[in-house]
């Protein structure tokens, strides 16, 4: 099955053609047009600017994905697009385009939950991945521990009560004057600092599987205000260590509680080098299989949307064309609407 994926939920205009054969995926093309340059000066994503940029970039990105894959539109078997969660204007650009293309080429349209897309990302690179699996999904908008009972069957074990992990990285980076997006900037600077320089709080470390990052962010702000000469690299490294400590500890505990032998990371924060290192160490220590999608598969892309779309099409059939974008779409037990 050849699926065109379209992802426009936030600030990346992404398209991809994925060939699906059973549980195996061949990413024939994957185009990501980042809007970072447009939003950087505002210190975060400006929804109206994002929507307009998607309008300008999506058609060329679809053409590029088809050319790179060596595929003509009518040869596709389905058109899949993210229908939520995300910025509503941005989602509408992708879903409207996908429906239009599906009508023109007379192919099924499949609406995909962005979070389910992230959960499929590890499968695109690891064909032998085993389920059940515990996935730590950490992005700019979400922080979730998910028990992936099987492909398409999920149990949300824990989530953030306030800021998402990526949001905490972005806000701390902004406070430290490191620019946007903050995650990669903190990651880079942290390599020059000491992770044990400042004992920032590990919120809710031993308390259930939910997360809270706003206290950590406030602790960073208070510490820097009280110690204006503190090394910014030490602050970055110590903040990152506190966040990673909690993320790794809870994922480990979830896998212990459930007796699950495999752990995977997903979402933009999964690109964090310290989290990746600590993740693999923890898995090795516990004798678990630890999966790490590549950086490009961690951050938003359309190959993961095409993969999740193919699965949805096979199991639920096409999505009716009157299903619209849903900015608050949740990850239910089956990610169905």
Spatial separation of the C-alpha atoms in residues 250 and 213, rounded to whole Å: 14
Whether residue 209 contacts residue 145, with contact meaning beta carbons closer than 8 Å, is answered with yes
The minimum distance between CB 86 and ligand KG4, in angstroms, equals 8
85, interface contact from ligand KG4, Zn ion, none, CB < 5-8 Å by kind:
none
Phi/psi region, residue 41 (left: phi>0; alpha: psi -120 to 50; beta: rest), is alpha
What letter would DSSP give residue 312? H
C-alpha to C-alpha distance for 337 and 321, rounded to whole angstroms: 13
Q: Which is nearer to ligand KG4, 102 or 233 (CB)?
A: 233
Binding flag, residue 11, Zn ion (CB under 5 A): no
Residue 325 Cβ vs ligand KG4, minimum distance, rounded to whole Å: 15
The CA distance from 130 to 147, in Å, is 12
The smaller minimum CB distance to ligand KG4, of residues 45 and 76, is found at 45
Secondary structure element (H or E) that encloses residue 174, with its range: helix 165-175
Please give the sequence-ordered ranges of beta strands (E in DSSP) within the chain, or none if there are none. Answer: 2-7, 12-21, 24-34, 78-84, 109-113, 133-138, 143-150, 153-159, 262-266, 289-291
Out of ligand KG4, Zn ion, none, what residue 166 binds, judged by CB under 5 to 8 A for its kind, is: ligand KG4
- Residues 113-152, mask of contacts with Zn ion (x by CB under 5 A): --------------------------x-------------
The site partner of 184 among Zn ion, ligand KG4, none (C-beta below 5 to 8 Å per kind) is: ligand KG4
* Partner from ligand KG4, Zn ion, none binding residue 7, C-beta < 5-8 Å depending on class: none
Contacted entry of Zn ion, ligand KG4, none for residue 241, CB cut-off 5 to 8 Å set by kind: none
- CB–CB of 312/3 below 8 Å? no
Location of structure tokens 């994922």: 251
- Interface residues with ligand KG4 (CB under 6 A) are 10, 139-141, 166, 169-170, 181-184, 187, 267-269, 271-272, 299-300
Applying CB under 5 A, the residues found at the interface with Zn ion are 139, 300
């Amino acid at each position: 099955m050849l699926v065109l994926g379209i992802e426009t939920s936030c600030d990346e205009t992404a398209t991809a053609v994925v060939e699906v054969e059973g549980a195996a995926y061949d990413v024939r093309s994957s185009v990501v047009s980042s809007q970072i340059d447009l939003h950087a000066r505002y210190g975060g994503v400006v929804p109206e600017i994002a929507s307009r940029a998607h309008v300008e970039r999506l058609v060329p990105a679809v053409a590029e994905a088809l050319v790179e894959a060596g595929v003509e539109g009518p040869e596709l078997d389905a058109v899949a697009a993210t229908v939520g969660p995300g910025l509503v204007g941005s989602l509408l650009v992708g879903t409207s385009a996908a429906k239009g293309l599906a009508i023109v080429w007379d192919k099924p349209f499949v609406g995909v939950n962005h979070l389910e897309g992230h959960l499929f990302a590890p499968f695109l690179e690891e064909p032998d991945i085993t389920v059940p699996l515990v996935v730590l999904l950490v992005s700019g908008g979400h922080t979730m521990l998910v028990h992936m009972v099987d492909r398409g069957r999920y149990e949300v074990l824990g989530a953030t009560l306030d800021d998402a992990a990526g949001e905490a990285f972005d806000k701390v980076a902004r406070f430290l004057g490191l620019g946007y997006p903050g995650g990669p900037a903190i990651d880079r600077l942290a390599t020059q600092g000491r992770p044990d320089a400042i004992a920032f709080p590990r919120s809710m470390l031993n308390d259930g599987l939910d997360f809270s990052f706003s206290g950590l962010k406030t602790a960073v702000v208070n510490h820097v205000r009280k110690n204006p000469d503190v090394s910014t690299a030490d602050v970055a490294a110590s903040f990152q260590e506190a966040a990673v400590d909690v993320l790794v500890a809870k994922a480990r505990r979830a896998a212990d509680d459930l007796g699950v032998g495999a752990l995977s990371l997903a979402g933009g924060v999964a690109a964090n080098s310290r989290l990746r290192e600590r993740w693999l160490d923890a898995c090795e220590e516990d004798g678990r299989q630890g999966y790490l999608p590549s950086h490009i598969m961690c951050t938003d892309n359309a190959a993961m949307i095409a993969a999740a779309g193919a699965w949805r099409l096979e199991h639920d059939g096409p999505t009716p064309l009157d299903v619209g974008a849903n900015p608050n779409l949740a990850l239910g037990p089956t990610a169905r609407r």
